[in-house]
Structure 1
């Protein structure tokens, strides 16, 4: 046979289960909060960054649009001046061109080009392009267009990546005189680069770049990226379609960014302002870290509270379990726990154990002498009533007492004889048993008088039960034919009432009042 250990006998205490459940619940809630908080925060930050980047892109597009418009206006005004004030000499023409370039500082170089594709003058003169022919297709197309143009980036004669801005020259007769052209060197210092290059790369890894209408990079904080075509980028594709907005995008180096983008409407260029998506993970991780810093102490305090509470809640049950073990071992009455009124389960268990103890003792006593049972009705007798009532009063149980007897029972015995009277008593005992609850106890007090103890009932409930017994008795068939009636006195135990005899006195007073009032009624004893 397997040997049973002491731990297997005792089992695990309720407080241990409660602490384990509380810890598991707290752990699951913490993980859920962290996961939800991390996810929601990351999504919120991503949305905020996308919106901010779109705002930045729009602001930069407005600024760039204004700068390009200023460049075009400067070319237009200079073209008007050149037409309106023809230079009397080549030296004066060169001086005027140098003055235009130096006064605006918009362009790295300025050219005056004749209709026959010959460069008449250039500034600075160090370029030595005067008298040479145009060779690039872009510059030739601009000359032949005879209207203001802005080119895509291209490699010029001087082997530099440039953007060409032009304005046509027409005299007062409408004859085409060539064009005035300004060039921006994308890798050199100029007004556009100065504007865009200010704080173009942030400490958090955010940066912006500019593309032309063909998807070529015009500006990038990394100079090696200039003039690279990135039209396969989804954001750039949207810009090429004239759209502005925001979205998550993967760049050419397979890195994910939160991008805001905006079109520069007057030239068809686009600006993309983007932030590495890893930044949101950093911010979200900081949130998780902050949440842990604040939540962990709270959870620790909560666990300590649960530990204390579980011990407090479990103590009455533990004491009752120990008392039940003593009962099982035959040590009746040893270390009897007090009634715990605030704990429903402990109170009911206390009552059940006490009832079990009483029933066990009652069975033992009945086996010895059957002294506690009325042999005629099968109900508990007066001795059992006294013992149980004393026990209930000692344990401060809340209960009610009903004392009742049969109205004019003497006439039944006198008219039909004592055997019929005994049958009437048994009949009434059956009625009492059928109308009370399982936790209530019925007693034969003596002669035709009976007592009922009702556990934890209100005044309304006990009166309802008493009236039900009275009404049922009044219509119940009797052994001799005519119906019988009963009178009942009812009382409730009161706090501080230390003797069962006082309760019976109150109930008996109420019973006497019922008889004085004409019998066949229930009277509640009022203090």
Structure 2
């Protein structure tokens, strides 16, 4: 083997090694950056979702507290008018406990904390003078009260909610109150225990003294959580979201909110590992999609390296024939080497550009609208393509919120986002598993109903319209929607024409007064 051939082979390998290393480093950097961006996105979405969930539960709990206080107020008025009638006192405590099932037990006490009536009778405390914190606080304050958790005379860990009894003369006579047990079945368990996730997510509640008053692990109820950074924020009247660790040391993504009347803090949290579990499969999908392009790029690199070695070999051959007249011309002919070097660089940049383009394309393949959780235009296109290929008929519901700009301008975009999310939930409520719901614009939505004729689709549209009209949208109050309905292939054989027809029906509904459904006849 000659020195010339060794040099030529080594140079080609060096070029291949350098170009392959460059491609792999760039690819690895792209994967790393994509992984970090997606990871942070998943974490932020989970934190925001848990905060919204905790806020919703806090609002529901606040409504419940207000409701039971109103019940107690009404009963206090009934009892005040019949304070000396023991039969009515017993009847009222029984009614108050059984009518709404809000309390585990109900009692009437006089101003000396003596129990005058109870329900159920099994408590066996009638005639006793209570020295429990809840009763003492109610007698002392002489106003509506919600106690801190304490152990009752019967040995139950509970919360006592009371209302004063004021006679017609204005004299304070005592209090009527109900208990909510914390370690037994109660309305609090039913209110907070309906959690539909099975990935390690859970809800717990703590009071301002850091005592846990609700937890799916009953053994945790009643303990003081001193080493919990989320609970520390409750005493500061804060709500929000945070990454934390639970008592088992598991990293959690928590959202928390306060119940204003009681000062309780409700925490909704999900294991960080469960949130990031989907990231691995997503990155594997990215690799599987980019690997063919990467292999094609490496093949192009090898071919380009071979092209580079050919002019270099000609230069070496010319160097061996310096004494020949044609050598100068031959060397001049090799001047295109610089152009070829430039081309190699261009090919490499093109190859990396293809990889970046493919990764960007994968990012665009995310089918979900991040605000509402509905599909986007890509999911719509996939569904339509599939139904067209299988000749599956479908109906289109074009939906638009009436005067949505007024909502944003009056209440702000945060309220507008809540309206969009609640409307999305209403659309899910009236849809089937096979239906495709998409957000295609700011306040514009589509519902695609496979194997559904226009008549049935119009009924679905009317049901959705009525549901939205009858619902309250938090700060925005009442809103309405307009809908347009068309069918493929009844309305047209062209899917684009059907979509346009549904849109035209939507605008017809708006022009006809809004809050209505128009169907292409």
Indicate the TM-score class for this superposition, using the shorter chain for normalisation. 0.5 to 0.7
Query: Quick check: which has more Rg, 1 or 2?
Result: 1
Q: Give a deviation string over 1:389-428, Cα, whole Å, max 9, x none.
A: xxxxxxxxxxxxxxxxxxxxxxxxxxxxxxxxxxxxxxxx
Residue matched to 1:141: 137
Of 19, 23, 29, the match for 2:20: 23
Provide closer, same or farther for how the CA distance between residues 285 and 9 of structure 1 changes in structure 2, counting only shifts above 3 A.
closer
1:132 partnered with 2:131: no
**Residue 252 (structure 1) aligned with residue 247 (structure 2):** yes
1:206 aligns with 2:204: no
Which residue is 2:57 aligned to?
60
Q: How many residues align?
A: 340
Task: Pick the aligned partner of 2:166 from 166, 170, 192.
Answer: 170
The question of whether the paired residues in 2 share the 8 Å contact of 1:42 and 1:283 is answered with no
Residue pair 1:138, 1:151 contacting (<8 A) in 2 also: yes
Specify whether residues 346 and 123 from structure 1 end up closer, same or farther in structure 2 by C-alpha distance, changes over 3 A only. closer
Counterpart pick for 1:110 among 86, 89, 106: 106
Which of 178, 181, 184 aligns to 2:177? It is 181
> Deviation per CA, 1:298-332, whole angstroms, max 9, x where unpaired?
1111111111122123323223424544x27x899
For 2:217, the equivalent position in structure 1 comes to 222
1:237-276 matches, cutoff 5 A: 237-276=232-271
Deviation at 1:193, TM superposition (A): 1.4
Aligned partners of 2:118 and 2:126 also within 8 Å: yes
Q: Which residue of structure 2 aligns with residue 80 of structure 1?
A: 77
Distance 1:140 1:195 in 2: 28
By how many angstroms is 1:91 displaced?
A: 3.4
Residue 170 of structure 1: how far off its partner (Å): 0.8
Note if 1:96 corresponds to 2:89.
Answer: no
Q: Which of 272, 279, 282 is residue 284 of structure 1 equivalent to?
A: 279
User: For the Cα contact (< 8 Å) 2:79–2:88, is it kept in 1?
Assistant: no
Q: What displacement does 1:339 show?
A: 8.0
Matches within 5 A, 1:431-442: none
3-state SS of the aligned residue for 1:178? strand
Q: Give the drift of 1:12.
A: 3.3
Question: Aligned pair in 2 of structure 1 residues 345, 238: CA closer, same or farther (>3 Å)?
Answer: closer
SS at match of 1:172: coil
Select the residue among 282, 304, 323 that pairs with 1:309.
304
The verdict on how the C-alpha distance between 1:86 and 1:117 changes in structure 2, with shifts beyond 3 A counting, is closer
- 1:462-505 Cα shifts (integer Å, max 9, x gaps): xxxxxxxxxxxxxxxxxxxxxxxxxxxxxxxxxxxxxxxxxxxx
Partner of 1:46: 43
CA distance in 1, matches of 2:203, 2:243: 14
Equivalent position of 1:196 in the other structure: 192
Gaps of at least 5 residues in structure 1 are 349-527
Gaps of 5+ in 2: 342-521
